Structures are given as structure tokens and as C-alpha cells.
Chains A and B, each alone.
Chain A
């Protein structure tokens, strides 16, 4: 599998470590009444889709960026790769 790193170009997936579902970016950060429940859902429940999946890969043997990779779980086609920090910062300014 090849990941087209936004800064470094196509790289072998074996240079990376995968964490999993990109929903892990959405760590609950507002005080909730039932924080335990919210954190449980955040950490444990997954959509696990057949098809498009956004996931987090770490370029461990490279530039150490965390990437958000949009990959199809049925075909393994990758149609988008972005720096996680960039996406989040964009989200925060909007």
C-alpha cells in the first residue's frame, strides 16, 4: 500500500503506523453531564464502514506527521491524504 504524503509524496505504508478511525480526533473537550458515557462512545464505538474510511496514520519512519487518510476499506483505494494538524486548525478557524 502506498500513501501519498502531502509533503513527501508517495511512501510505502510500511513507513507508517496506523492508529485507526479518525474520529479519535474528536476528543470530547466540553464538560458534559455524563462525561464517562461520552468518552466511552468516543473511545470504543466505531462506524467500521464498508467503503470510505477516514483514518489516522503516523509517519513514524519519516517526518513524524500524523496524517488523515481517506481510504476505501473494500478496495484499499486512497483518495485523499492530509496533515491532521492542518485539517484541525482549518476546522478551528472556521
Chain B
């Protein structure tokens, strides 16, 4: 349990020891550690394996850009793959294991791939595995697939919870390092509503790992004081462990907060924040980049700045003997800090000439310096053992701190397809200030300003600019005194003399040779090279590799960096869990569930429910003795046809239409005429889309002067209302008409069957006469029931029986359905569901969803005469197009199997007898099928080419998918009571 590489100092809390497990072994660390720093403290350097060659890998960075040290976090049978050990805040009981290796991290069989490296270059797959043809599918591809991937996803349901939140502010500061904190101080002291987000669990950014002073304090103490001041400001919200990952339109920023790294955590594990802001200061800092040299991927090679972080912030000795390889002053700072902590620095190898680094060299007098030199090769396998230099020297070291310069973190400046600009002075890409996202300012290292005092100054300037845009005076604060070392370095990408492979993209195993080969094969565009080699497509999204890759392409093609250009930056800035993005919407909570007001009653009646869009509707009401749903449905149909049944039709869309132009308006939206509809009468209506296809059908009830209620199908309620509002507001705003959806305000029941009138008479108040003569088929009225309760009665029939629809305000619904059932006992009232409803409507030949499928015209449905030619209505003109009146269109007909024992299937296609099943012989298809207890046979509705002419003839219903080929008779779609006598009784 000893932490053999733990040294003094650091920002860890030694009073809070934490136990953790890695690859089955127990270790300990301290509060304030990351998993990576704790592993290093315990002397663990081999942490992962690379993707393609399965090369052993160590810890390379100290932040979310880590390409190598990815692990699986484990909790019982759940795990999180590809977790960056460099960002996981150590917690007690953390269990992690290495991934993409077998049987163990140390001895990984697939590392044999490394021996085939000469074959497995960029583009290898495209040129091979083609012979013989059948081998690709049977042999090669399964092999390639088996080797794919990094970590493993547990196949069980993710046990964690996720949530979403919204925040609003005047100023969003992204990044809590020197620049972000300074901008926060300025804005906070001036009272701006400010949000400051930081990806790390500590604020401070680079200042946590550096060894310099601000205002006379150690820089991390200045950070602590600043954070304390900001925390005390009520209008400033600090959000650590939060990363802004996307810049969206109208200054909408999305961030992910990692509330806990524990799996199956208490409360949400992660949250997505939508932050709406007026101004943005991007203070995202810069990340160091490496240099490509021979075997530069060996465990022990680490970014120079990361090594400073581990030394200064985490108090970890990452090595016993270090070589520094650098193109700029950063490497020298690492040498200095290591030296101070008593860690031996064996050599500083600087690619620059002596005079180019003499300024910084003054501060490192004891260390051997190799100017204008380069590491051409690393020795060692699971750990760096030694290095060979260009000049021939071989130096034994166990670690290399590498710095190839810095990349300002400009990702969020470029997510709207902006192109960054190459700046040779800092040897990095910076944002094009003319094309920043609206409201954004960039401060500090994110725009290539590296000296701490200049960073603070710039942050203050940017914050002042925001203040002035918001009408505030500039701050009177003084800039704290700080380090003024400016960046000095030279652009340098790779050691060309290296004979070994030199890694550019560690995780994806892309080497300089791969990039050069891609260029050789004609892939000149950066986008092409990226796609051909997979450069920059690893889990670090190219943070450690892209810019070097661009540099090497430019070198290879003898082009400038500008000419070479970058690939497009896209959200997300860091990978974001799918669970977090879906928030709480999983399982049953995926979408809201709509229940009708009498749903609880249906539950009591043991209804089976079915999803109908968002609604749950009663499908059928099984009795205990019924073994099959068909039995229940047959019973419900027969009971309704012979006696009386009731069903809940509250889900139908109901729209209240009022105004002096209401009828004229409805004439516009329905293809048939409504203005001739008398008061207290209903009419069946069809709405067309403007393209002449049927949009929906329903009824129009003329309830009172200038007052109509129209119904829509359940499925189309939302679209129809939207369409009618479009017609009202956008096409005919001059009309005096108002619309309101009353779908949820009114519950509605269909009461159908020969005894329906008798039943209703027991419910409605006495002063209403609903005798056939006074209240005939298609009558409607406002009535009262149960001693004065307001209700609406429509004599409509979908079942084909004498039937009524009774509507009441939703709050009476539950009481009403219970009352009706009580009264109904004497009439043997039977509740029926959507299945029986469906059977009865097929028996009657009414079109429903399967026929109103957005492809049929009124004519196709046998309703062509309803389209009035005497008026302008939506869709009437275009419904006359050649293709929509073609005699060879599919027309609605009925079909029955010639042998009543046979079951026809919906979805079968129709062919003439003996004709081959080819597309040209295809006559149509069956849309709806039901077993009709009235016909004692399966019956169906079908759309058949020139269908009317086939009525009386015989065809075949062919269902190749389910091996059916059934002779059918084509009939009228009206199977039951074709003259409609029963509904008028």
C-alpha cells in the first residue's frame, strides 16, 4: 500500500487516503489525486494498449486529451469503457481495469500485430482481403471485427441516472485557469451575472502545475484566494468538473457536468447544461504537443507540462532519470522543477541552436544540454530504458519529457466551420478574430498569449470589453504582478532521421510513415489524409495528434501550414456519454404517456391497452374464461351489434371552430361543402393536403350559430390542428374565425348498438327528445345529462349500428363512465376496445389509418364525389392532376378468402391467378384484415389497381414473406349492412 513515488508538497490532501483497485491489485492514493496520478505514485507506468498494434502504453498527459491511459471503470456487472485515468478524480473504492488486451496488460497476444507493421500501413485494408471473394465475408471481416474496439460496454442496462438543466447569464467564461479566473474577478466585482466553468475538479488550469508567483504568492495560492472570493459572490456561479462541449446557434452553449465518477452513483451521475448567455469569454488555455521520433510511444514518454503537473500538483515522482526533449522553453521549466524536487534530469535535448535557447538555459546550469540535437530512437519495451541522439550519444533514462510547442485550445471558436489561422511566432493555430461565434471573446493562452502577466492583462481587457458592451464602466482593478516569460520556441514536428516508426496519433497507431505514404498515394487534402490514415480520429479527437499531422503533411508536400489547412472542428469538444445526452428520457420515460380521463376505470375493467401514438387506448376487455384475444373481440363485436356497447373515443382530435366565417372557413379546409350543413346536424368531412391527397377525415358538427365542432383521427389530431391554424393565420387571416383544440377538455364515448337509444334515455335529462324522428342519424345537440350536467350528443356511427357519441367536460368523465356502466347493467352493456372498433369499421368498409396513409386520394377511397368542384378548397386543384385520376390507381375494395377457413394477411400483395409475382404483375395490397363474426370469415380491405372493375372477380393474396398464397374474392368494401339501414333505425 505504499506510494513509493510520492514526494512532498502538492495539492493533495494526505489526511484523506483513498483505496482503489487496478487490474485486481489494491493501491492507495489521496484526495486530490486523479487515477493517473495515483497510479504513478504507486509506480504503475504501463496502463493501456494501443488500438492497432497493441503496443504497451503509459500515461502521456494530465488532462482529457489523454490518448493512451484509458481504462474501464467497474462496479459489479456494469462498467464504463474508455475512461481517461487522467481526469477521473480518485474516490475510495474505485475499481478499474486495463482494456483492449488479452490475457493481460503485460502479455497481450494481439501485440503480435506489431510484427506485421510493415504490412499494416495506411490503406492496407483497401488493397487486400479481396481474394478469393467469398473469404471477405467468411474469414477476413469476422477476424477484423473481433480485433476492433477499445473498451467493452456491459450488455446490461446502464444503472445510472442523468439529468438536464438550463442556465442563463450575462457572461459565460469557459475555462478556470489564469485568464478565466481573472475575467471572473473583473466581471464578478462589477456585478455581472457570471458563470465560470472548468473541466477539472480544481480551478486554476496550468497554474496548478506551475512553479511561479502571482502577486507575491505561489500561483496555486493565488488561485485558492481568487476562487474563495468568487465563491462568495452570489451572482457568480462556479461550475467545476464541467466542460462546454458545443457552441450552438443564438449563443446557446452546452456543457456536461460530471457530478460523480462513481458508477451507479447516488443522484444523477452526469448532467447536461444548456447555458444561454449574452457574452462569452473563451479562456480554454492551450495544450502541449509532442514530437514524433522513433518509438516515442513507449511508457515513460510524457508531455513536459504533464510531468510538471504530476510533480508540482500531485507530488508524484514520475521517473528517476529523465531526458527532456524540447523545441521550446517549456521543456526547460520541467527540467528546472524536476531538479528542484530532486529528480535527476540526465539531459536536455533542444532542437534549437544554443543561441536560441540561451535565455532559458541560464536557469538550468547543472544539466547536460544537447543543443541542435534530437532523439532519434527510444530503447526499451514496457518502459523507456535509454535514448539515442542524432549526434550518436546513447543516454540511459527511464522517462522522457517532450514538448513540441503549444496548441491554443481554439476548438470552440471553430465549431461553426471557421478556419483558424497559423501563427508562426507561437507556432500554433489561433482563432480568426473576425469570424468568432457571435458574442465570443478569446482570452489568454487560448489565443496564444503565454506569459502569465500578459494573460492576466488580456483577460482583464476582454472582461472590460464585455463590461462596456453591457453599459458598465471598466474595472478599476490593478493587474496582479506575475511572470513575464514570453514563449520562445521553434516549429518542429518530427525527427526525420528516425528509422523506427515515429508516432503521431498514439491511440490509432498512425506514424509519420503512414502520413507520408498517404501523400505518396495522392491523398493531398488534410481531410483525405485523416480519412486514409485515421489520423486524429481516436478518442482524443486529435487533440494530441492533429496539428503535428498537419505539420508533417506540409513538410512532406513542401507546402506551408496555411496551404495545408486544418480539418473542420466539430462539437463535441470532449466525448459525451449517450446516457447524459438522453437525460432522464429512457425506459418508460422515453416519451410522455397520454391517458384518457376514464383510463383508471378501464384499468379496473381489466382492459388490455395499446399504444396509439402517445395515447394508451383500451384494446379489448378480456373475460377470465377467454383464452385468446380473438374470443374477447368477437364477443365485444356481437354484443355491440346485437345489444349495446360503449367505447372511449376521447383520443379523437376535437377542434372547436367559432366565428361568423366559421362555415366559410371550413369550406376552405374540407374538400366537401360545409356551408350547406344545417344547424344541429353533422356531416362526414374529408380534408385534403394541398397536393390533393387525403390528409384526414372526421365529422363536422354544426352545434350552434357560427359554432362548429370538428373531429380528427387520433393519429392526425396534432397535424390537423396545426394545418387549420395555418389556414386561419396564414392563408385567410381576414376571416372571422377562431380555433381551439378541445381534445383534452372533452371526454367522448361512442355508445353503439340497437339498444343504445334506450340506454341513453336513462342518462340524458328528460327535456331532450332523442327519438329517431327528433334526433335522427347525423343529428347533434347541446344537451344536459344526469340532472343538469352539460353535454354534447352526436348521432354518429363508426360501427354501422344505431349509435351516439356523448361528450362531457373531462372532469365528469370518470363519474359518467361509471354511471353509464351502472345503468347499462340492465341492457347488458359491453365495453369494447380498439380491436372490436377495428373489426366493425372493416365490416362497414370505413377507411382508417391503414388506408388514410398519405398516399391515397378521395377517389381511391371511393369518395371522389365528395371533392366539390364548385368552390376553392385546399387540395382541390392539384387533386385533378393526371397521376391522381389515373384509372390504374389503386382503389379501395373488399376482399374475402374463397375458403372461409383461410386467414388472409394484411400486407399481402394481390396478383391475378397464375401470374408470376413480379412488380409489373402486382395489382395491389391488402391494407386491413379482421375476422368478421358477422361474415364468419376473415375479411379485408385492399387497394387494387382499377379495383372497382375487379369486384366479383377472383384474385390471389400473396404473402411471400409468410409463405401464403390464398385465392380471394374481390367484393365491395361494405361487408355489413351495405345500405346503412341499421344506423338510421
Interface residues of A (CB under 8 A from B): 1-2, 10, 17, 19, 24-25, 27, 29, 35-36, 39-40, 43, 56, 58, 60, 64-66, 75-78, 83-85, 88-89, 92
Q: Within the complex, which residue of B438, B726, B731, B734 is in contact with A77, where a contact is CB–CB below 8 Å?
A: B438
1/0 contact trace for B718-743 toward A, CB 8 Å? 10001001100111011000000000
Contact status B690-A65, CB under 8 Å = no
Name the one of A1, A24, A43, A56 contacting B252, with C-beta atoms under 8 angstroms.
A1
- Cα A2 to Cα B722 in complex, Å, equals 21
Given contacts A25-B731, A58-B725, 17 further A-B contacts (CB under 8 A): A1-B249, A2-B276, A10-B250, A19-B726, A29-B872, A36-B881, A39-B690, A43-B690, A66-B726, A77-B438, A84-B729, A84-B730, A85-B729, A88-B733, A89-B733, A89-B734, A92-B733
Report A-chain residues with C-beta under 8 Å of the C-beta of B276: 2, 10
Contact with A along B256-279 (1 / 0, CB 8 A): 000000000000000000001000
| Inter-chain contacts of B878 with A (CB < 8 A) | 36, 39-40, 43
Residue on B nearest A35 in the bound complex, by CB: B877
B903 contacts A by Cβ under 8 Å: no
Interface contact A39-B730, CB-CB below 8 Å: no
B725–A2 contact, CB under 8 A? no
* Chain A residue contacts of B881, Cβ below 8 A: 36, 40
* B733 in complex: contacting residue of A75, A78, A85, CB < 8 Å: A85
- Let me know if B356 is at the binding interface, CB within 8 A: no
**A24-B730, A36-B881 in contact; A66/B725 too (CB < 8 A)?**
yes
Tell me if B141 counts as interface (CB < 8 A to partner A): no
A2 and B729 in contact (CB under 8 A), knowing A39-B690, A60-B718, A77-B438?
no
Task: Chain B residues near A60: list those with CB within 8 A.
Answer: 718, 722
Question: How distant is the Cα of A85 from the Cα of B729 in the complex, in angstroms?
Answer: 5
Which A residues are in CB contact (< 8 Å) with B249? 1-2, 76-77
Q: Which of B732-771 contact A (CB under 8 A)?
A: 733-734
| B531 on the A face (CB < 8 A) | no
A19 to chain B, nearest CB (A): 7
Task: Give B contacts to A, CB under 8 Å.
Answer: 248-252, 276, 416, 438, 690-691, 718, 722, 725-726, 729-731, 733-734, 872, 877-878, 880-881
* Complex CA distance for A2 and B168, rounded to whole angstroms: 13
CB contact under 8 A between A92 and B734, given known A2-B249, A39-B690: yes
B718, B725, B729: which has the most chain A beta carbons within 10 Å? B729
Nearest 6 pairs of A and B residues by beta carbon:
A2-B250, A85-B733, A76-B249, A85-B729, A1-B249, A66-B729
Give the distance in Å from the alpha carbon of A25 to the alpha carbon of B726 in the complex.
9
In the complex, what distance in Å separates the CA atom of A2 from the CA atom of B250? Answer: 6
Give A89 to B252 CA distance when docked, in angstroms.
Answer: 34
Contact B730 A66 (CB under 8 A): yes
Q: Given that A25-B730, A43-B690, A85-B730 are contacting pairs, would A36 and B877 also be in contact in the complex, using a CB cutoff of 8 Å?
A: yes
Tell whether A65 pairs with B729 under 8 Å between CB atoms, given A36-B878, A60-B718, A76-B249.
yes
- Give the chain A neighbours of B251 by CB distance below 8 A: 2
Verify A58–B722 contact, CB threshold 8 A.
Answer: yes
**A-B contacts, 17 listed (Cβ < 8 Å):** A1-B248, A1-B250, A10-B276, A24-B730, A36-B881, A39-B877, A39-B878, A58-B722, A58-B725, A66-B730, A75-B416, A76-B249, A77-B249, A77-B438, A83-B729, A85-B730, A89-B734
Bound CA span A29–B877, Å? 11
Knowing A1-B248, A29-B872, A35-B877 are in contact, say whether A58-B416 is a contact too (CB < 8 A): no
Beta-carbon contact of A78 and B725 below 8 Å? no
A-chain residues with CB within 8 Å of residue B726 when the two chains form the complex: 19, 56, 58, 66
Cβ–Cβ < 8 Å partners of A78 in chain B: 250
Measured CB to CB, the closest approach of chain B to A90, in angstroms, equals 10
**A24 (CB) vs chain B CBs: closest residue:** B730
Closest to B689 in A: A43
Q: Smallest distance from the beta carbon of A55 to chain B beta carbons, Å?
A: 12
Instruction: Give the distance to chain A from B733, nearest Cβ to Cβ, in Å.
Output: 4
Contact A36 B880 (CB under 8 A): yes
By beta carbon, the residue of chain A nearest B250 is A2
Measured between beta carbons, the chain B residues less than 8 angstroms from A27 are: 690, 731
Complex: A83 Cα to B725 Cα, angstroms: 13
Whether the Cβ atoms of B872 and A64 lie closer than 8 Å is no
Alpha-carbon distance A35/B690, docked complex (angstroms): 13
- Chain B residues near A77: list those with CB within 8 A: 249, 438
B317 to chain A, nearest CB (A): 51
Q: Is the CB of A17 within 8 A of B722?
A: yes
CA distance A65 to B728 in the complex (A): 10
Contacts of B733 in A (CB 8 A): 84-85, 88-89, 92
A66 to B729, CA, bound (A): 7
Residue on A with the closest CB to B416? Answer: A75
Task: State the Cβ distance, B82 to closest chain A Cβ, in Å.
Answer: 30
Docked pose: A24 CA to B690 CA in angstroms: 10
Bound Cα distance A89, B729 (Å)? 10
Complex CA–CA separation, A25 to B691 (angstroms):
15
- Give Cα distance in the complex from A65 to B730, angstroms: 10
Cβ contacts under 8 Å, A2 to chain B: 249-252, 276
